[in-house]
A = this chain, B = another copy of it.
Amino acid sequence: MNFTDMLLDAERQNRSLLCVGLDPDPARFPHHMRNDPDRIYEFCAAIVDATADLAIAFKPQIAYFAAHRAEDQLERLMAHIRVAAPHVPVILDAKRGDIGSTAEQYAKEAFERYGADAVTLSPFMGFDSVQPYLRYPGKGVFLLCRTSNPGGDDFQNQRLADVPGQPKLYEHIARLAQGPWNVSGQVGLVVGATYPAEIARVRELAPTVPLLIPGVGAQGGDAQATVQAGWRGGAGGTTAAVAVNSSRAILYAGAGADFAQAARQEAERTRETLWRARLFD
């Protein structure tokens, strides 16, 4: 099954648009595990178990593992997700961006070593920095398009003088992802939730690609406006998927021994908000 189908399948089975971000920060772990990087796997696995029936995807952020020498725990976590939530795809959030033989090594890391279903990439170095990932049949890539941090304006919001219509850089990327770069249906986009008007613009330019939307929860995006701008579906089923990510608001919902239960409650609440947002007129 290719990555887009996995996403739509998980959406249907879990009735969810919620991507659960796994950004394990030992300094914020529950009291009984706090500041213990050896318990990253245990912490994340408990979150996965508590949300396996609520998520459209899981998104481990590799930096949190790498900073703590915990690559082995990430490997174990990826294997655990396959067993605990076999129907939920896993997006490795790595934002890699390199070329040729180096990109091949990063693709091997993401898809062979960790067994991810998709990986986030920076498109800055151009199409040949994306191609090595597309050689893995069925695997997906999410290209950074419009990010909601203050610096997201620095380049992504610049209008390009020589492209017809003078689109902004992020609009140009959205068009490439829908068209010439998407030779095999494996390309999605990362679009921040802070500006729903920009999600709507990306959806207009890229009507069918899956969108990964961070920024709900701790980062403060409006969940409902986000879904209304990005999700496309109806009686015939979903035609354009969105996975709306929440990390810290779920992971750190509780600080006690019942942290996984607290995470579940927060995930359930967010899932409900996102799912209902589909039903606008």
Contacts and interface: CB of A to CB of B under 8 A. Distances in A.
Contacts of A69: 71, 113
A225 B162 CA distance: 29
Interface string A155-169: 110111111001001
A64 interface: yes
Given A123-B124, A124-B122, A158-B160, A113 B151 contact: no
A136 interface: no
* This chain's copy number in the assembly: 2
A123 B158 CA distance: 14
A217 interface: no
A147 B100 CA distance: 12
Contacts of A152: 125-126
A100 B150 CA distance: 11
Interface string A31-44: 00000000000000
Contacts of A153: 126
Interface stretch (A7-15, A90-98, A226-234, A258-266): A90-98
Interface size classification for chain A: 35 or more
A239 interface: no
Interface in A114-156: 122-130, 144, 147, 149-156
Given A23-B102, A126-B149, A152-B126, A166 B161 contact: yes
B129 A155 contact: no
A98 B23 CA distance: 13
A210 to B, nearest CB: 20
Contacts of A155: 123-124, 126, 169, 172-173
A161 B172 CA distance: 14
A105 B66 CA distance: 8
Interface string A15-36: 0000000010100000000000
B166 A151 contact: no
Contacts of A101: 23, 25
Contacts of A176: 154
A216 to B, nearest CB: 15
B169 A151 contact: no
A99 interface: yes
Q: Closest 4 CB pairs between A and B?
A: A126-B151, A126-B154, A63-B105, A67-B105
